[in-house]
Structure 1
Amino acid sequence: MATVHREVLIEADPEGIWAAIRDWGEVHHRLAPAFVVDTRVEGDVRVVTFADGTVVHELIVSLDDDLRRIAYSVVGGSMDVAHHHASMQVFAEPGGRSRFVWVTDVQPHGLAEPISAMVDQGIRVIRRTLEAAALAS
């Protein structure tokens, strides 16, 4: 199994960032527009369509307001994974900034490289989107 762990400082308060992450059916609008082109909610599953055409069905495992953490697992779609579990969490940092942590465990190990590339691209879009939203408010 491979682990992809990324952290980034975001120039926005943790409550605003958490509000965007927590709105888990609006990823394509509030968190990663253009990187994610559509999100549909079907019960506890969100169906996420990426700009490259990849579609994943993600089971929401945990949504914790106190920890500002969401955990999800890919349970279907066009990615052929044996195991996928990811979490996103927001921590307060001095000066009104936030630390955004995204951890993904995936199997088979060979998916580590493509998942890393997606996470790297996604985190750049997320940071840019959240900082722009903070400036606008």
Structure 2
Amino acid sequence: MATIYKEFIVEVDVAQVWDALRDFGAVHTRLAPGFLTGCELDGQGARIVHFANGLIARELLVALDDEHRRLAYTVTDGKATHHHASAQVFAAGEGRTRFVWITDVLPDGLAAYIEPMMAHGGAAMKQTLERAQKSSSGNPT
């Protein structure tokens, strides 16, 4: 099984980052607009996400843990025989958050496709969260 690990720092308070991350049905607007072009909740605990590259995936919510600021989901369709991901955020000092995103996937060969998507998605999340922070603080830069 291949594991893809992404970690990055967001210059935003952990409570604000968690608030956006835990909003499962708004990932396309609050976390990664542009990288994701749409998201609908299916009424069965899953979201259907639309990626800018045309990919569509059904992501079933596995866990939403407010105490540990962790969200986990599994992709239930597509080429992977197993796809499980989790995202967890940690305070990294005042006004900073460490964002950890891990995906396990089978077959291993899919990691070569998923890893660059996660890198792009992580960059989109960091940019979106930091831009929202600057907008809310009245700082346009």
- TM-score category of the 2 structures, normalised to the smaller one: over 0.9
Taking the TM superposition and a 5 Å limit, the aligned residue runs for 1:18-57 are 18-43=18-43, 44-57=45-58
- How far apart are the structure 2 equivalents of 1:135 and 1:38? 24
**Displacement over 2 Å in runs of 4+:** none
Identity %: 48
Taking the TM superposition and a 5 Å limit, the aligned residue runs for 1:75-114 are 75-76=76-77, 79-114=78-113
- Equivalent position of 1:124 in the other structure: 123
Matched residue type, 1:85:
H
Q: Give the secondary-structure state (helix, strand or coil) at the position aligned to 1:34.
A: coil
Provide Cα deviations, 1:32-62, integer angstroms capped at 9, x if missing partner.
Answer: 0010000000120100010011010011000
Provide structure 2 residue ranges, at least 5 long, that are not aligned to the other structure: 137-141
- Equivalent position of 1:17 in the other structure: 17
Provide Cα deviations, 1:64-100, integer angstroms capped at 9, x if missing partner.
Answer: 1111110000002xx3110000001110011320000
- How far apart are the structure 1 equivalents of 2:56 and 2:5? 22
Q: Give the secondary-structure state (helix, strand or coil) at the position aligned to 1:134.
A: helix
When you count strand as a share of all residues, which structure comes out higher? 1
Matched residue type, 1:116:
E
Q: Give the secondary-structure state (helix, strand or coil) at the position aligned to 2:76.
A: strand
Matched residue type, 1:105:
D
Compute the displacement of 1:118 (Å): 0.4
Matched residue type, 1:111:
L
- Equivalent position of 1:7 in the other structure: 7
- Equivalent position of 2:65 in the other structure: 64
Provide Cα deviations, 1:86-122, integer angstroms capped at 9, x if missing partner.
Answer: 0011100113200000000000000011110100000
Matched residue type, 1:130:
L
